[in-house]
Amino acid sequence: MNIPFYRAFEDRYRGSRELIHERQQVYIPFLEPLKQLYPECSALDLGCGRGEWLEILIQNGFKAQGIDLDAGMLEACSALGLPVENIDALKKLKSLPDESLTVVSGFHIAEHIPFDDLKVLVAEALRVLKPAGLLILETPNSENLVVGTQTFYLDPTHNCPIPHLLLSFLAEYSQFSRTQLLRLQESAELAEGGTVNLFSVLHGVSPDYAIVAQKNAAPEQLDKFDAVFGREYGLSLESLSRRYDAQVDALFEQSHTTNAELRGQQAELCEQHAGLREQHVELREQYTEVREQLNQVQQHGQYLETAVRALEENDDLETQIREATLRAELAESRFHNVQLSQDAAQLRARESELRLNQVLSALQQVQVEVDKLRQDATASTISAAQADHQALHDLHVRLNDSLINAHHWWLKATAYEAHIAELENSKSWRITRPLRGSAKLTGTAARLPLNVSKRITRSILARSIRFILNRPGLRARVAVKARSYPNAFNSVRQFAVRHGIIPPQPHEVPPVTDATEASDDGFPTASPRVARVYSDLKLAFERKENR
């Protein structure tokens, strides 16, 4: 993508969007009182460039618009969704009504236009601003010698530097009530009082400045801006020069003080040198005396050396005698130590033997107890096995008795069935069939009124029970009285359970034996054969009853 020349130039030498956005935060304290005076604050940014100041205005609740003649700059603003227009600044200002804006700003546009047009721009800004409205014009600071002689002319569209005194006078001449000078973008180290050198004087002055001019308004409105208009901003050439001069003066004073201290130290050293020379002479004299004394000492030493040699010979003999005596005493001591070691070893051997006997005795006792426990465990196991075998034998005996009884009843059932078959096939049974039918009809007719009355009674009783159960208070009172008649209470309860009015209470049926389990018929299911015989008997009895 081909970036327009001036936009690429500004990206390199003016700084990134983030850097410019951070630098322009210094103007926010001037905007806050305007939001208190006017519920809707309109602002116009002349030469908006990449739109950093437009973003700050919109973020602080201003209804802002930017204008510029560079299509590349406007393209960057449009990409961010900022409200911009391609139109000349003077033309735009002249088209606006009086007192329609609260802020008119122009960042680095004053140096691009002729001074006559700049005068018209300032006058038109005064016209369109509301009372207490602000005009903000930022431009390079020619007070910085490097900016005024070099970096200002990097931009080919710059006309000439504008001193801050000229721009401030122009605002006052155009009838703005007051102006504030803001020196900007100085080094943080210098601003915090760091060391000032010659390059700091040439290059350390704030590289940019801004004139914030305010339109006249009521005193109570202007009072809200006193705090921001009463401060000093940035570093001036005068302040840095004075700081530099003060540092140089301090260095001169320090050098004078140091020279005076060095002269005093030199005088002291001279005095010390003279004293050392005198001491040197004295030392030479003392050295001569010492040499003479040393010669005397050497002569006396030779005499003493001869005497010492004689004494050393005697000392050697005494030393040899002492060594022999010491060796004998050492040998005797070693022999005594060996005897003590042997006695201690014998004592430890006896103690070890005694402990071994105790351990063996304890092991024998443990072995006896283990054998006894094994015998007890074996006897217990045999008793349990015999008990299990006896229980199994008893179970087989009961099962055989059950099979014998089942076979006996099966034979009887077979005989009854054969007898019933003979009876049904007999001639007398066939002759008396009409009589049995009439007797059955007579019994049914006799039982009909009784059955009807039972049904009515059961229906009334069921409804009454449900009525009582659905009313907790009535249910509690009836339960208290009904428990005085336990037989009647149990009969009513069984009736309610049979007809599904209340759920049955869970109960457990004990098993028939430990080795069998009760079936649904109540007969122990000891084996499939017993169950089959029992089923055949039950079926035969049912057939007999049906006949």
Query: Tokens 């001193």 sit at which residue?
Result: 163
Tell me the percentage of the chain whose pLDDT exceeds 70. Answer: 83
Cα 196 off chain centre by: 48
Estimate to the nearest angstrom the gap between the alpha carbon of 35 and the chain centroid. 41
- Is-contact 70 7, C-beta < 8 A? yes
Banded pLDDT at 47 (limits 50, 70, 90): very high
Domain boundaries, the chain: 5-235, 246-358
Q: Name residues whose C-beta falls within 8 Å of residue 307's C-beta, 6 or more positions apart in sequence.
A: none
What is the per-residue pLDDT across 51-80, written as a single tens digit (0 to 9) for each?
Answer: 999 999 999 999 999 999 988 889 989 999
Query: Mean of the pLDDT values across residues 436-444?
Result: 64
Cβ(173)–Cβ(211) under 8 Å?
no
Pick 239 or 165 by higher pLDDT. 165
Question: Which of the four pLDDT bands, split at 50, 70 and 90, describes residue 249?
Answer: confident
Tokens for 13, please give them.
């030498």
What mean pLDDT do residues 521-537 have? 63
Long-range contacts of the stretch 398-401 (C-beta < 8 A, 24+): 398/513, 398/526, 399/526, 399/527, 399/530
Which CATH code fits 5-235? Answer: 3.40.50.150
Which is more confident, 87 or 432? 87
- Predicted pLDDT at 106: 97
Instruction: Please state, in angstroms and rounded to a whole number, the distance separating the CA atoms of residues 232 and 221.
Output: 22
367 vs 524, residue with greater confidence: 367
Q: Which residue is associated with the tokens 């350390």?
A: 204
The pLDDT value given to residue 221: 95
* pLDDT at res. 357: 76
Percent over 90 (pLDDT), the chain: 29
The pLDDT assigned to 257 comes to 83
Q: Specify which of 56-70, 177-191, 201-215, 298-312 reaches the highest per-range mean pLDDT.
A: 56-70
DSSP string, 280-323: HHHHHHHHHHHHHHHHHHHHHHHHHHHHHHHHHHHHHHHHHHHH
